[in-house]
Amino acid sequence: MSWNIGRLEMIGITDTTTRGAIGFALIALLLTLGACGGDDTPPVVLDGSTGIDGSTGMDAGPGVDSGPVDCVAPQVDCGGVCADLTGDNAHCGGCGMACGAGQACTSSVCACETGLVTCGFICADLSTDLAHCGDCGNDCNTGETCISGVCTCPAPAMGCPGGDCADLTSDVNHCGACDNACDPGAVCNSGTCECPAGTTDCGGGCTTGLDADPLNCGTCGNSCAMGATCNMGVCECPGSQIVCDGTCVDVSSDPMNCGGCGDRCFSLATCVSGLCNCPPPLVADGPRCTDVTRDPDNCGGIDMQCNDDEYCVDSACVCRPGLTDVGGTCVDLMSDPDNCGTAGTACSGGTARCAEGVCVADCGGGLDNCMGACVDTETDPLNCGGCGDTCGRDEICAGGGCREFRPGVGCTMCPCSASCFGDFGDCCTYPGAMADIICVDGDCP
């Protein structure tokens, strides 16, 4: 058990001298017992009540109730602390009711200290407070100070429209005058905008130096190509690249500039060592890959050209679709008056014209008479737009005009973006050969 030597008045002993004597006697007895009793001797516990000599004792510690504090009026016990609720800042008007910063407890009410006024929930000095300068809520602008309740710019700064405090001798946004902003990169020196040493004013701002600025390399306005750097006032592309159309490119591998600026590789070709390279079985025809099994300009090999009335099939020149080889000449059995319907059948007399493979007296159905041949000059490659106007081997007839074409490489149907682009952007099927994809410069027939 524990011994409590405080509050002897609780058992009727109120005389101070008597309580002191008894207290000392108890302490001596307990110390003696503690020396003889070993670990089972109960400890002496001093609580926070009035001690033997009238002073406050030690905390009773966990598990021991120190009891209420004896406070002298007008003080009251606030959780073990005597407080005057009329003037205690921590307990103003009630236990635990603390006053805020700058407040003092007067007559149980938290009030601002002398010279301060209440602004919302705080006390403010209206003569110096930046947020309450001269009046609650009157917030000074950035850079201003509050002097005697007036927002003022500190010298040598002055107020500019918008509330900014600006030193007109050094402020880049208000150089020499309010709102006179210096160009990017410039500094304000004694009220004048100047470019720092090593830079140049090329209009719109100070450069990083004509020897290193890629937008003003060597001279103002001399802009380097994309990818280039400015070295000692000279634009330079990295490595072995050259400038093509305002951009640094590697002409040894760039398919848009293969071997030189503007030398473009087309139709699946890649650029290797400055040459357009085609994947087998395609063959390079200058900058493009061509299929020598279908190209009438390169039928079976580069520059092996078919006749105008032929096209290329399986690397061999044969008569165009709709034409028939008669004695080494490609003829249209549907319109040729010397071979009308079949080879050797000639039209004569009153039916000297051939239409739809039959000898007739006159061409009808909107067909034109071209020396006895009834043809549609809108689509006939041997009479395109007029009698005898033959389209070339790499042309088809559409709308009465010859349109150049190229074989569609890598495609079996339209659209064919791998080959049909640029001037040859229209994907079509070759007239009379639906499985043959071509890219046309113009409209499809």
In a domain, 281, yes or no: no
Half-sphere exposure of 247 (CA within 13 A, CB side): 10
What is the tally of structural domains in the chain? Answer: 1
Predicted local confidence at residue 50, as pLDDT: 34
In a domain, 42, yes or no: yes
In a domain, 28, yes or no: yes
Residues in CB range of 204: below 8 A, 6 or more apart: 183, 184
Predicted local confidence at residue 389, as pLDDT: 95
Predicted local confidence at residue 38, as pLDDT: 41
Query: First vs last Cα of the chain: how many Å apart?
Result: 117
In a domain, 199, yes or no: no
In a domain, 37, yes or no: yes
Regions of the chain where pLDDT drops below 50: 1-66
- Tens digit of each residue's pLDDT (9 = 90 or more) over 275-305: 888 888 788 887 778 889 999 999 999 999 9
Is residue 280 reached through a cis peptide bond, with omega within 30 degrees of 0 on the bond before it?
A: no
Position 440, amino acid: V
Q: What are phi and psi of 10, to 5 degrees?
A: -65, -20
Specify the residue for token string 């003022």: 152
In a domain, 41, yes or no: yes
In a domain, 17, yes or no: yes
Q: What is the pTM of this model?
A: 0.45
Where in the sequence is the domain holding 59, given as residue range(s)?
3-67
* H or E element that contains 151: strand 150-152
